[in-house]
């Protein structure tokens, strides 16, 4: 049994049916139960259409549930509006164009994220805040700290995803949701973004869920791997069982 104080996320009976009662009825989430401990980093695999993004939409409040409850850090958020949940839940999408404002500079984007969520009272930002942004960008090792006055729209997809990561981390979320956030990048950039994802997630100790179609990435990142199938959690691997999995076999099944 988990001590509920150790839990960041508790999901019970989460159910979402699209087009109910019609010939197109689709049970996207079928009475899903899931607990995430504080600081846990879970990777999520599953075939196309198995319900992974719907799970994120339901957690963020983008979708209303048909049944079930969502508890975040001890608070029942099942009926809380999406914009309120966004104060505590950060999300990065596959498309590097989402999540950052293209006509604002790197510094302005970071300032917005920082003041919107973590510390609204700190407005206007001072030199110390900008030094902090600078330090966070340095962690990326992409020289973006030298381009803080560059507009985001001029950056590559990988650089934008990296800035998105810094934005979400400095806003100190209780939960970070990554929906195939490296899938649109070339293999080398994707590897780099995964590396910095790990760095940030571990140093901030933020509870994280990462959806990926890359089985190797799912098994080598995070502490635990969940496999979705037809709107249910078909497998939940951790510890020695997870360590012993053969990525090639899994790839054939769930890649």
Ligand X SMILES: Nc1ncnc2c1ncn2[C@@H]1O[C@H](COP(=O)(O)OP(=O)(O)OP(=O)(O)O)[C@@H](O)[C@H]1O
Instruction: By CB under 6 A, name the binding residues for ligand X.
Output: 18, 26, 28, 46, 48-54
> Least separation, in Å, of the C-beta of 233 and Mg ion?
15
Sign of dihedral through CA atoms 38, 136, 91, 122? positive
> Least separation, in Å, of the C-beta of 18 and ligand X?
4
d(CA 156, CA 189): 10
Choose among Mg ion, ligand X, none what residue 49 binds, the Cβ cut-off being 5 to 8 Å by kind. ligand X
Nearer Cβ to ligand X (171/212): 212
Choose among Mg ion, ligand X, none what residue 18 binds, the Cβ cut-off being 5 to 8 Å by kind. ligand X
Nearer Cβ to ligand X (107/185): 185
Nearer Cβ to ligand X (19/121): 19
Tell me, letter by letter, the H, E, C secondary structure of the chain.
CCCHHHEEEEEEEEEEEECCCCCCCEEEEEEEEEEEECCCEEEEEECCCCCHHHHHHHHHCCCCCCEEEEEECCEECCCCCHHHHCCCEEEECCCCCCCCCCCCEHHHHHHHHHHHHHCHHHCCCCHHHHHHHHHHHHHHCCCHHHHCCCEHHHCCHHHHHHHHHHHHHHCCCCEEEEECCCCCCCHHHHHHHHHHHHHHHHHHCCEEEEECCCHHHHHHCCCEEEEEECCEEEEEEEHHHHHCCCHHHHHHHHC
d(CA 145, CA 141): 9
Nearer Cβ to ligand X (26/174): 26
Nearer Cβ to Mg ion (18/132): 18
Choose among ligand X, Mg ion, none what residue 158 binds, the Cβ cut-off being 5 to 8 Å by kind. none
Nearer Cβ to Mg ion (45/155): 45
Choose among Mg ion, ligand X, none what residue 48 binds, the Cβ cut-off being 5 to 8 Å by kind. ligand X
Choose among ligand X, Mg ion, none what residue 61 binds, the Cβ cut-off being 5 to 8 Å by kind. none
**Interacting residues with Mg ion (CB under 5 A):** 52-53
> Least separation, in Å, of the C-beta of 26 and ligand X?
5
Residue whose C-beta lies closest to Mg ion: 53
Choose among ligand X, Mg ion, none what residue 28 binds, the Cβ cut-off being 5 to 8 Å by kind. ligand X
> Least separation, in Å, of the C-beta of 104 and ligand X?
29
d(CA 159, CA 156): 5
> Least separation, in Å, of the C-beta of 21 and ligand X?
14
> Least separation, in Å, of the C-beta of 47 and ligand X?
7
């Amino acid at each position: 049994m988990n001590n509920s104080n150790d839990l960041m996320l508790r999901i019970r009976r989460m159910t979402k049916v699209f087009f109910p009662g019609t010939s197109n009825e689709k049970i996207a989430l079928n009475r899903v139960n899931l607990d995430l401990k504080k600081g846990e980093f879970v990777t999520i695999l599953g075939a196309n259409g198995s319900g992974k993004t719907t799970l994120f939409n339901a957690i963020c409040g983008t979708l209303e549930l048909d049944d079930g409850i969502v508890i975040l850090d001890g608070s029942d958020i099942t009926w809380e509006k999406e914009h309120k949940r966004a104060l505590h839940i950060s999300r990065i999408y596959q498309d590097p164009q989402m999540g950052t404002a293209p006509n604002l500079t790197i510094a302005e984007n970071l300032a917005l994220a920082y003041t919107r969520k973590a510390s609204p009272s700190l407005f206007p930002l001072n030199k110390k805040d900008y030094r902090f942004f600078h330090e966070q960008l340095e962690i990326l090792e992409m020289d973006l700290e030298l381009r803080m006055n560059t507009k985001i729209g001029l950056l590559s997809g990988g650089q934008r995803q990296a800035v998105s990561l810094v934005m979400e981390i400095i806003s100190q979320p209780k939960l970070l949701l990554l929906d195939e956030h490296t899938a649109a990048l070339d293999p080398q950039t994707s590897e780099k973004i995964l590396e910095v994802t790990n760095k940030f997630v571990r140093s901030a100790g933020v509870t994280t869920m990462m959806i990926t179609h890359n089985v190797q990435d799912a098994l080598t990142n995070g502490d635990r791997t969940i496999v979705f199938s037809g709107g249910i959690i078909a497998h939940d691997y951790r510890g020695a069982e997870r360590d012993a999995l053969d990525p090639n076999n899994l790839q054939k099944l769930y890649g």
